[in-house]
Amino acid sequence: MKDNIAIACSGLCLVHCVVTPIVMGLAALGAVSAWLDSPWIHQLMLVPVILLALLSLPFAYIKHGNHVPMIMVVLGISAMVSTFFLPEHYEFWITIPAALVIMSGHFWNRQLIAKTALVMEPSNG
């Protein structure tokens, strides 16, 4: 469940990064585009991504023992955080792949948990 929510949060980041330049390009929505592009929105959106990774991945690793999803999510989050320290024109090109890597890591984690649950399920025979 936490992985599904994390995938949705990362998806929202992805949508935000794609929609914000379009809205700003329209310029008819002045206040909305300024709000969407403000730094605190980016920081606020990153909070659930980090919290869900912390709540989901370590416990899932204990169940399935595969460290790759955790590495993917940590790399994606690190890339997103790095955009706070880089020139703004890199943000789009770093955040989109980072969000996709985070989503992929959580999806893979969810698949591994499901596979582990099937293996541990007692047989009725």
74/96 Cα distance (integer angstroms): 15
pTM: 0.73
Is 88 a member of any domain? yes
Is 60 a member of any domain? yes
> What domain range is 70 assigned to?
2-120
- Which structure tokens are listed for 50? 């980090």
* pLDDT given at position 76: 95
60/54 Cα distance (integer angstroms): 10
Is 125 a member of any domain? no
32/80 Cα distance (integer angstroms): 22
Residue range 6-53, pLDDT digits in tens: 778 777 777 777 776 666 666 655 666 566 667 777 788 888 889 989
Is 87 a member of any domain? yes
* pLDDT given at position 5: 82
For the chain, the domain total comes to: 1
Q: Return the C-alpha torsion angle 56, 58, 60, 62, nearest 10.
A: -160
Residue range 64-118, pLDDT digits in tens: 999 999 999 999 999 999 988 999 889 889 988 999 999 999 999 999 988 887 7
* pLDDT given at position 74: 95
